[in-house]
């Protein structure tokens, strides 16, 4: 299982499409930095194919005033959770 | 686990350095080892020894150096990316006839082979880009 890390908002970059196309059926996607905008209810539809495999970084949500505005399909993790995700994955791929 | 980080964003330009430092602190707190941080592309500016940010802002360079001092993390800078951006250690400055130098220990100018080694030798390599 690969952890994919995306730091671009789907509203400003289409790289999320490449990330999704490159993901395997078990892979997970973590939204960080501006990428957390993809966790908003209005944006999360871009990632609906991921089911329960979509995560967003709490600290980056909080610094943008977006905590508590995430779609129900998103699992919010703090930076410790980020490390755990990397522990559980065989490797990581960053998309930017 | 043994971790390595790849930083490709310049300090104070993108969030990459902040994200990487925050991740570094978290992985160390969980008992992992951070073997090295490799600075590539504009990330090499993290190694600028003359950086003098305002005192009420995070001093990113000091934070990198603290990783080396406290945890022995190697701070490796891509020499090809660094030289063309004016980031030279004392030896390279002398070799190129420059009157000053801009990189010093604990940062070390190294080749891309070190990044390959980090990717092969460490359990996890995590990239932070602009």
- Determine the residue of chain A that is closest to B17 in CA distance: A33
Q: Which residue of A has its CA nearest to B2?
A: A87
To test the contact with chain A by mutation, choose from B8, B40, B124 the residue with the greatest count of A C-beta atoms within 10 A, namely B124
**In angstroms, rounded to a whole number, what is the distance separating the alpha carbons of residues B103 and B77?**
9
Query: How near does any CA of chain B get to the CA of A57, in Å?
Result: 11
Total domains, chain A: 1
Q: What is the CATH number of the domain that holds A31?
A: 3.40.1260.10
pLDDT at B90 (0 to 100): 98
Contact A96/B26, CB-based, under 8 Å? no
For residue B106, say if its preceding peptide bond is cis, omega within 30 degrees of 0: yes
pLDDT band at B5 (very low <50, low <70, confident <90, very high): very high
Residue B8 is predicted with a pLDDT of 98
Which residue, among A92, A40, A86, has the nearest Cα to A61 in the 3D structure?
Answer: A40
Looking at CA atoms only, how far is residue B67 from chain A in angstroms?
17
Q: Look at residue B29 in the predicted model and tell me its pLDDT.
A: 98
Q: What is the rounded average pLDDT of the residues B100-110? A: 98
Residue of A nearest to B18 (CA): A33
CB contact (8 A) between residue A5 and residue B130: no
Mean pLDDT in chain B?
97
pLDDT for residue B75: 98
Residue A40 is classified by DSSP as: B
The pLDDT value given to residue B24: 98
Residue ranges of chain A whose pLDDT lies below 50: none
Domains and CATH numbers, chain B: 2-128 (3.40.1260.10)
Q: How far is CA B62 from the centre of its chain?
A: 11
Specify whether B36 is catalytic: no
Confidence of residue B71 (pLDDT cuts 50, 70, 90): very high
CB–CB contact A80 B30 (8 Å): yes
Domain that holds residue A29: 2-95
ipTM: 0.97
Q: For B11-17, what is the mean pLDDT?
A: 96
Pick A94's closest partner by Cβ from B25, B30, B129.
B129
Which residues does chain B have within 8 Å of residue A82's beta carbon, measured at their own beta carbons? Answer: 23, 26
CB contact under 8 A, A92 and B128: no
- Place B78 in a pLDDT band, splitting at 50, 70 and 90: very high
For A87, B15, B67, the CA distances from A32, given in Å and listed in that order, are 17, 10, 23
């Amino acid at each position: 299982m690969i952890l994919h890390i995306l730091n671009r908002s789907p509203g400003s970059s289409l790289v999320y499409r490449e990330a999704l196309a490159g993901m395997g059926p078990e892979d997970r996607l973590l939204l960080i930095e501006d990428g957390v905008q993809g966790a908003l209810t209005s944006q999360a539809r871009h990632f609906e194919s991921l089911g329960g495999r979509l995560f967003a970084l709490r600290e980056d949500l909080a610094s943008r005033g977006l905590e508590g505005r995430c779609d129900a399909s998103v699992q919010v993790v703090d930076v410790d959770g980020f490390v755990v995700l990397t522990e559980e994955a065989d490797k990581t791929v960053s998309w930017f | 686990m043994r971790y390595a980080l790849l930083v490709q964003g310049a300090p104070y330009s993108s969030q990459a350095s902040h994200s990487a430092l925050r991740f570094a602190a978290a992985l160390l707190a969980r008992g992992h080892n951070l073997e090295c941080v490799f600075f590539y592309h504009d990330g090499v500016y993290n190694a600028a020894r003359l950086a003098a940010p305002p005192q009420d802002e995070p001093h990113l360079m000091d934070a990198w150096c603290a990783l080396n001092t406290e945890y022995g993390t190697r701070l490796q800078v891509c020499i090809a990316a660094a030289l063309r951006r004016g980031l030279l250690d004392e030896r390279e400055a002398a070799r190129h006839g420059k009157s000053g130098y801009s990189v010093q220990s604990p940062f070390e100018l190294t080749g891309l082979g070190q990044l390959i080694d980090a990717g092969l030798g460490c359990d996890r390599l995590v990239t932070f880009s602009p």
